[in-house]
Amino acid sequence: MINLEIKKLNKHFGGVKAVDDCSFEIEKGSITALIGPNGAGKSTVFNLISGIIEADSGNIVFSDRDIVGLSPDKISNLGFSRIFQASSLFDNLTVENNLFLAFDNEDTKFWKNLLGFNKATKIKKEKVKEMLDLVDMEKFRKNPAGDLSFGQKRLIELIRAIINPHSILMLDEPVAGVSPRLREKISKILLKLKEEGETILLIEHDMDFTLNMADKVIVMEKGIVIAEGSPEHIKNNRKVLEAYLGE
Amino acid sequence: MIFAQLFANGLIAGAIYSLVALGFSLIYSTCNFIDFAHGVTVAVGAYLLYFFFSLLGLNFWLSVILTIIFTGLFGLLLNIVVFKELRRRKASNLILLTASFALLIIFESLILILFGADVKTIGYIQVSRGLDILGAIITPLQIIIIIVSFLLLVIFFFFMKKSKIGKAMRAVSDNKDVAEIVGISAERIYNWSFFIGSAVAGIGGILVGLDQNLVPTMGTGLMIKGFAAAIIGGIGSPIGAVLGSYLLGFGENFGIWYLPSGYKDAIAFVILFIFLLLRPQGILGKKK
């Protein structure tokens, strides 16, 4: 079943076509990897989907609804969750509060706060504890997020994205720059999510990691989708080798 | 004796500045632009109290509550009608600042048209002899100003620390894009900031209006001091803005121990310059 459909998406930055007539589909319950050399437009596609930048033309259809032009928070609340390439925790809040903020989207509505219905419920607390245990970071829950190391921040970002209610999880280079041990840990978490039927869209430079993980691989170069298929198919694709090796 | 009096005067001045700086700094920290229209919000508060209490003759406390609510709504309306529309058109922060200046002038003029240029007094509090506390003469109202300002600071501190809205405000202030990705509506948080910040300005307007006379331009002077206090305290840190307000209040008042009192404003800005030169991030601000 198709969960997300990108149709002829275009985005220019000045004279540069960052995303050029880009089209692809994402199946429900699968891991789709977006790969390509630096500057291929992968992160731009992510930003277009999450509404941080607006497409020049084209459609992004999510459960029969075109989401182009919606604000990022509306798109998030429709069921998108993501992590960024660069660290993106709220440094001045505690680890725990970073996670609580991701939970629900109704909590800043006027009437809810007037009546005081915004307590962190038991269910939420348990979920936060469970996720922190999953990454062995329970003891850091009261620490300001800004004090964490790079690897720890990546883990908290990952579990924040998982906690944020969603039907599609978008991960922009989740293992870039982390230690091999941490990479193992993140792989395990992602594979577990896959077993649970999560739909994941992944950007990653690490080829081994990506080809092990993905059901489908989409290769981009200079804003264009140049190849698409199973990891085996992509490994032997001449165009992809050319894009990466410049032959 | 002189010390006690100057200390009391500094405390009163600091309390008044902090009522302006707190809301201003809150709006700056979440919305990330300098809102000079906050000055006229204080004047709107004072004139609303005059309107409800002195003109309509409503009960005093009812007038106070109505004034706080309507001043909050006034700020909210400015945000929705002007600033939100400008943001939607991708206006830069400089444009927003310019627009806020325009609003300051427009609404001061509007107050002038509606209420006239002559000085107004609310006249709820009879002119009373000040109390003698440790040799300083201070009126009961001034004591209330100090207490209210302190209470607001404490409430505000816990609000930002504990409430969901407060946390969401800190999240938006920290990184707006990420907050939206997590599903927090930045626009809704901007609305909250304007409503709460302006309601605090309304409380400031009420207290200043009871203590002093009302003139349409009363907000501008307070805004300039509140702005200076916010920078000294660390722009974007509401708690810092309050600290800056007291530093400014004490600096001004102790400064005139040695200098003619006409130099009061100059002293305030010398303090500002010293901070900009030596500690530009302010008392609580983080180095960028």
Considering only alpha carbons, which residue of chain A is nearest residue B160?
Answer: A93
Q: Taking phi first (over 0 means left), then psi (-120 to 50 degrees means alpha), and beta for anything else, what does residue B275 get? A: alpha
pLDDT of residue A123: 79
Do the chains contact at B175 and A52, CB–CB below 8 Å?
no
Phi, psi dihedral angles at A17 (to 5 degrees):
-90, 95
**Percentage of residues in chain A having pLDDT higher than 70:** 92
pTM to 2 decimal places: 0.86
Q: Report residues of chain B scoring pLDDT below 50.
A: none
Say yes or no: B105 contacts chain A, CB-CB below 8 A: no
Token pair listed for A76: 């998030």
According to the model, what pLDDT value does residue A119 have?
58
Q: Residue B133: enclosing H or E segment and its boundaries?
A: strand B131-133
Closest alpha carbon within chain A to B178: A88
CA angle, B181 then B183 then B184, to 5°:
105
Task: Inform me whether the C-beta atom of residue A76 falls under 8 Å from chain B C-beta atoms.
Answer: yes
**Would you state the pLDDT for residue B62?**
95
Give CA–CA dist B107/B114, Å, rounded.
10
Q: According to the model, what pLDDT value does residue A110 have?
A: 56
Q: Which residues of A touch B187 (CB under 8 A)?
A: 71
Is the confidence metric ipTM above 0.90 for this complex?
no
Q: What is the pLDDT of residue B215?
A: 92
Q: Which residues contact A54 (CB under 8 A, 6 or more apart)?
A: A48, A68, A69
Tell me, what's the pLDDT at B150? 92
A 10 A CB-CB count for A235 gives 13
Q: Is A102 on the interface with B (CB under 8 A)?
A: yes
Q: Which residues of chain B make contact with A144, given a CB cutoff of 8 A? A: none
DSSP E strand stretches across A123-187: 168-172
* Min Cα separation B79/chain A (Å): 16
3 state DSSP class of A58? strand
CB within 8 Å of chain A, chain B residues 137-166: 163-165
Residues in chain A, pLDDT under 50: 247
Whole-number Å distance between alpha carbons of B221 and B229? 12
Contact B171 A93 (CB under 8 A): yes
Question: Where do the domains of chain A lie?
Answer: 2-91+166-245
Q: What is the pLDDT of residue B138?
A: 87
Q: Counting beta carbons within 10 angstroms of the beta carbon of residue B114, is it exposed (0 to 12), middle (13 to 18) or buried (19 or more)?
A: exposed
Output the DSSP codes for A18-37. Answer: EEEEEEEEEETT-EEEEE-S
Mark yes or no for CB contact B185/A160 under 8 Å: no
Q: From CA B154, how far away is CA A126, in angstroms rounded?
A: 31
Residue whose structure tokens are 């969960």: A3
Q: Which residues pair with B35 in a beta bridge?
A: none
Q: Which CATH architecture has domain A2-91+166-245?
A: 3-Layer(aba) Sandwich (3.40)
Neighbouring residues of B240: CB distance < 8 A, sequence distance ≥ 6: B25, B230, B233, B234, B282, B283, B284, B285
The Cα B203–Cα B199 span in angstroms is 6
* CA nearest to B228, candidates B287, B273, B189: B273
The 3-class SS string of B11-69 reads HHHHHHHHHHHHHHHHHHHHHCCCCCCHHHHHHHHHHHHHHHHHHCCCCHHHHHHHHHH
